[in-house]
């Protein structure tokens, strides 16, 4: 490892690893030391593209003292299995979203981080999107006044093939389905922007993937603790797929974003900097609408750089597991509500499973 860059290790070289690989490769603060995956072909391909060494096993990767941060990129129900040993081995850890499939396993990861005084971040990188940071800043400055409405519309398309690429992609308990897998980022954004949720009322259907026993379409009402209301409409059935849309309305302002683009930015107290915000995202846009490859690595680079800075400054990472736990709770409540056909109140018991 060079003097100036922090060493990273990758566990899992599947679809999402390309974003982590490119993010680390392009970061001024991070260096890829090694990666591991039982799938030799994927591991080979990853190393060839992004550098680093092949670690013979997960244990070998943990034993490598050059590695300070481990990114866990395994399927959704296999995060804690790797994050907890990594934290116990003294590594800081970035876990892909959702944190896990159970709140109790998320709690175990949080406890392992605390007991070992290590940082634990969740890869909810959309929070770093410039348009989202602008909305978050305006909320913190009180520019929206009383928050009234926070909505997310994710009308995406994934062909049937997508659900058969890997075994876990068609099994709900392993983290497949539009709610926990795709809409999770936008459910998380509403939590991030609007605050905690107290009641969820959701319905789920399968509109056009009859060969998988999963929901491909979600509609959910959210009732936030602060009195605001929200709506999530998410689907992977709607060809060809559009960038996701986030809308926030308060008594004194309205913001609407589509992907990175700011479509509306209107406040009663217009400020000179507002003109700049209205130009955000007018360049290239890649927000995942038409396929997993329809994304850029830059938001993951924020995540990687933020972890390096959090370690150097001994502060929390921007997206803590503790905070992301509530986004998981909201998503799990959506399944419980849709199964029961009635609203579900939060908090949920930690051992609830779907
Ligand atoms: N943040 C995002 O925008 C984003 C995008 C896509 C996926 N994800 C998340 O990333 C995670 C992985 O998703 P994916 O689409 O890359 O899945 P994937 O199935 O393509 O990749 C997972 C990889 O983990 C590997 N693996 C399995 N067991 C392992 C072990 N014991 N040791 C090391 N590696 C092992 C598999 O061989 C596979 O290559 C999921 O949690 C998913 O939700 C996040």
pLDDT number for residue 292: 56
Please state, in angstroms and rounded to a whole number, the distance separating the CA atoms of residues 104 and 107.
Answer: 5
Q: Which residues of 176-188 are buried (b: 16+ CB within 10 A; e: fewer)?
A: bbbbbbbbbbbbb
Report the DSSP beta bridge partners of residue 234.
Answer: 154, 218
pLDDT number for residue 1: 45
Helix pair 321-340, 103-115: axis angle to 10 deg? 170
Tokens of 147: 């928050």
Tokens of 106: 């998320």
Residue nearest to atom 33 of ligand 1 (CA): 37
The CB of 39 under 6 Å from ligand 1? The reply is yes
The CATH number of 127-296+327-345, from 2.130.10.10, 3.30.360.10, 3.30.450.20, 1.20.1250.20, is: 3.30.360.10
- Contact present, 122 and 116 (Cβ < 8 Å): no
Beta strands per DSSP E along the chain: 6-11, 30-36, 53-54, 69-72, 92-96, 120-123, 147-155, 197-205, 217-224, 229-235, 245-250, 253-258, 261-267, 344-345
The CA–CA distances, whole Å, from 123 to 104, 157, 197 equal 19, 22, 21
102 CA to middle of ligand 1, Å? Answer: 17
Show me where the domains of the chain are located.
Answer: 6-126+298-317, 127-296+327-345
Place of tokens 């993937």: 209
Q: State the pTM of this model.
A: 0.96
Q: Which residues, at least 6 apart from 191, have a Cβ–Cβ distance to it below 8 Å?
A: 197, 326, 327, 330
From the CA of 95, give the closest atom in ligand 1.
41
Tokens of 31: 């260096």
Please state, in angstroms and rounded to a whole number, the distance separating the CA atoms of residues 318 and 341.
Answer: 35
Does domain 6-126+298-317 sit in CATH 3.40.50.10860?
no
pLDDT in tens, the chain (354 residues): 446 899 999 999 999 999 999 999 999 999 999 999 999 999 999 999 999 999 999 999 999 999 999 999 999 999 999 999 999 999 999 999 999 999 999 999 999 999 999 999 999 999 999 999 999 999 999 999 999 999 999 999 999 999 999 999 999 999 999 999 999 999 999 999 999 999 999 999 999 999 999 999 999 999 999 999 999 999 999 999 999 999 999 999 999 999 999 999 999 999 999 999 999 988 655 556 566 555 689 999 999 999 999 999 999 999 999 999 999 999 999 999 999 999 999 999 999 999
Residue of 35, 36, 37 with the most ligand 1 atoms within 8 Å of its CB, for mutation: 37
Q: Do domains 6-126+298-317 and 127-296+327-345 have the same CATH topology?
A: no
pLDDT number for residue 288: 61
Strands 92-96 and 69-72: parallel
**What is the biggest distance separating any 2 CA atoms in the chain, rounded to whole angstroms?**
59
The CB of 73 under 6 Å from ligand 1? The reply is yes
């Amino acid at each position: 490892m060079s003097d100036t860059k922090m060493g990273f290790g990758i566990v899992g070289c599947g679809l999402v690893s390309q974003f982590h690989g490119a993010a680390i490769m392009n970061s001024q603060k991070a260096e890829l030391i090694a990666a591991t995956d039982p799938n030799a072909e994927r591991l080979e391909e990853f190393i060839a593209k992004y550098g680093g060494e092949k670690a013979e096993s997960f244990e070998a990767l943990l034993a490598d003292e050059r590695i300070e941060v481990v990114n866990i990129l395994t399927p959704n129900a296999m995060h804690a299995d790797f994050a907890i040993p990594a934290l116990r081995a003294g590594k800081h850890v970035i876990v892909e979203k959702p944190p896990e499939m159970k709140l109790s396993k998320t709690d175990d990861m949080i406890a392992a981080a605390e007991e070992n005084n290590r940082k634990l971040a969740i890869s909810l990188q959309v929070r770093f999107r410039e348009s989202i940071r602008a909305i978050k800043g305006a909320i913190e400055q009180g520019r929206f006044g009383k928050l009234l409405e926070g909505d997310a519309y994710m009308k995406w398309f994934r062909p049937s093939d997508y659900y058969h690429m890997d075994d876990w992609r068609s099994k709900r308990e392993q983290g497949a389905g539009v709610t926990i897998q795709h809409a999770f980022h936008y459910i998380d954004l509403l939590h991030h922007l609007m605050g905690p949720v107290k009641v969820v009322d959701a319905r789920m259907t399968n509109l056009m993937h009859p060969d998988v026993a999963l929901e491909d379409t979600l509609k959910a009402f959210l009732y936030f603790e602060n009195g605001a209301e929200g709506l999530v409409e998410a689907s992977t059935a709607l060809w060809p797929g559009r960038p996701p849309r986030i809308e926030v309305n308060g008594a004194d302002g309205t913001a609407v974003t589509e992907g990175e683009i700011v479509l509306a930015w209107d406040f009663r107290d217009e400020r000179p900097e507002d003109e700049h915000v209205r130009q955000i995202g007018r360049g290239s846009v890649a927000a995942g609408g038409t396929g997993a490859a329809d994304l850029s690595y830059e938001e993951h680079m924020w995540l990687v750089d933020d972890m390096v800075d959090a370690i150097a400054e001994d502060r929390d990472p921007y997206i803590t597991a503790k905070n992301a736990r509530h986004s998981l709770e909201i998503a799990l409540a959506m399944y419980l509500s849709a199964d029961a056909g009635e609203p579900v109140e939060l908090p949920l018991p930690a051992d609830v499973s779907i």
